[in-house]
Amino acid sequence: MKILLTGGTGYIGSHTAVELLENGYEVEILDNLFNSKKTVLDDIEKITGIKPKFHEVDLLDMPAVEKVFEEGNFDLVMHFAGLKAVGESVEKPLKYYENNVGGTINLLKCMEKSRVKRIVFSSSATVYGNQGVAELTEEMQTGVGITNPYGETKHIIEELLKDVSESDSEFEATILRYFNPVGAHSSGFLGEDPNDIPNNLMPIIMKVSIGEIKELSVYGDDYDTIDGTGVRDYIHVVDLAKGHVAALKKMGPGVSIYNLGTGKGTSVFEMISAFEKASGKKLPYKVVERRPGDLAEMYANPNKANQELDWHTELSIEDAMNDTINYLRHIEKK
Ligand code: NAD
Ligand code: UD1
């Protein structure tokens, strides 16, 4: 089976490429390298022995995307490509709608033209908005109370896929709602290496630990949680990548939606302690005001993916911290 990974040189796409190649799938990657580097292809080769064919193409460049499909003969698309900086999406909403929604429309048009009928889409727990409860299940209503344009684009694309599915009974879409991906490949070759200033917790912890950021700002310690700090469901990126292989094996007509998370919440203070334990170093931090739009606590109910996909997370926060530190050593040496 031949699979096109849009955004495949990015953080989650590259780890998924490795799992797909190790399971015998043929992989090609399309990416505009806006938030990733071409050297990721060499790193994938170091791990798997295979360097995927690469198309340096922007999804907004319709003729170029069409060409990739005309030559590709793909059986399925995994669609990771997108912009994901929540803060920037508030400042530049048009850029986010154009890139994420516009890029997906171009992709779906090219898939239709080339009769490629299967897609796995990278969605986010952000589509749940504020449900008033911490544990999130797939059948909850989505799209209400989303606090930023990035999250809106994920919701809109989910709806888009449902509408395309309504119009074509052969269309197969699997929507994967990721919780909070962390960690790196155990080889140390792949990890999260954003080109821009990160705004998620783990990449900020990484930058603080190597001295690129002075200290971590903890956004509030007065939430109604175990220690007052925000609680999230941090999933090791390799477990997440494996979830894609599991999803692929169970695809069928229509739209299927799965949470990919561990089912367990971890607080910011617990994340700081886990990083300090793994690195043997103190992580400087200060408690500041709550971040607007943040929820106190959210975590996945992963039962549907556990049962229907026969997929379970295997790696812990400790594994994620050790792998992140190993990856940091690798990039420091480069
Ligand atoms: P990433 O930025 O590392 O990877 C995304 C890749 O898409 C990048 O390599 C970027 O260059 C590419 N890209 C962006 N716009 C493109 C375009 N128009 N044409 C071609 N390539 C383009 O991000 P990631 O963390 O690997 O996330 C992958 C997907 O998962 C994204 O859609 C993201 O929104 C979603 N997601 C991520 C998280 C997270 O916390 N990392 C959580 C939930 C959902
Ligand atoms: C954020 C986004 C969400 C997006 C997700 C994954 C917001 C409001 N939400 O969610 O839309 O889908 O990232 O990309 O931006 N924290 C700190 N200090 C920091 C950074 C984070 O204390 O410098 C805390 C947060 O308050 C939160 C936890 O760490 O409690 C995790 O934050 P983050 O990694 O940004 O993820 P989410 O808040 O889940």
Cα 300 to middle of ligand 1, angstroms: 21
Closest residue by Cα to atom 22, ligand 2, is 218
Give the pLDDT confidence of 210-224 residue by residue, as tens digits: 999 999 999 999 999
Which ligand gives the minimal distance to the CA of 7? 1
Catalytic residue among 11, 96, 128, 150: 150
Q: Whose CA is nearest to atom 29 of ligand 1?
A: 80
Query: Is 197 a residue whose pLDDT tops 80?
Result: no
pLDDT at residue 194 greater than cutoff 90? no
- What is the overall mean pLDDT for the chain? 96
Q: Is residue 109 over pLDDT 90?
A: yes
The confidence score (pLDDT) of residue 198 equals: 80
Instruction: Give the mean pLDDT of 165-180.
Output: 98
pLDDT in tens, 68-86: 999 999 999 999 999 999 9
Shortest-distance Cα residue to atom 1 of ligand 2: 200
Q: Which of 200, 207, 240 is the best mutation target for the ligand 2 pocket, counting ligand atoms within 8 Å of the beta carbon and taking the most?
A: 200
Shortest-distance atom of ligand 2 to CA 229: 30
Residue nearest atom 29 of ligand 2, based on CA coordinates: 201
* Three-state secondary structure string covering the chain: CEEEEECCCCHHHHHHHHHHHHCCCEEEEEECCCCCCCCHHHHHHHHHCCCCEEEECCCCCHHHHHHHHHHHCCCEEEECCCCCCHHHHHHCHHHHHHHHHHHHHHHHHHHHHCCCCEEEEEEEHHHHCCCCCCEECCCCCCCCCCCCHHHHHHHHHHHHHHHHHHHCCCCEEEEEEECEEECCCCCCCCCCCCCCCCCCHHHHHHHHHCCCCCCEEEECCCCCCCCCCCEECEEEHHHHHHHHHHHHHCCCCEEEEEEECCCCCEEHHHHHHHHHHHHCCCCCEEEECCCCCCCCECEECCHHHHHHCCCCCCCCHHHHHHHHHHHHHHHHHC
Q: Is 258 a catalytic residue?
A: no
**14 or 292: which leads in pLDDT:** 14
Nearest CA to ligand 2 atom 34: 200
Q: How far is the CA of 268 from the centre of ligand 2 (A)?
A: 10
Q: What is the pLDDT of residue 319?
A: 98
Averaged over 283-294, what is the pLDDT?
95
Q: What is the mean pLDDT of residues 183-192?
A: 97
pLDDT tens by residue, 269-279: 999 999 999 99
> Which residue ranges have their beta carbon within 6 Å of ligand 1?
7, 9-13, 31-36, 58-60, 80-84, 99, 103, 122, 124, 178, 180-181, 200
Confidence of residue 170 (pLDDT cuts 50, 70, 90): very high
The pLDDT tens digits of the residues spanning 222-270 come to: 999 999 999 999 999 999 999 999 999 999 999 999 999 999 999 999 9
Question: What separation in Å is there between the alpha carbon of 254 and the centre of ligand 1?
Answer: 24
Res 333: pLDDT: 73
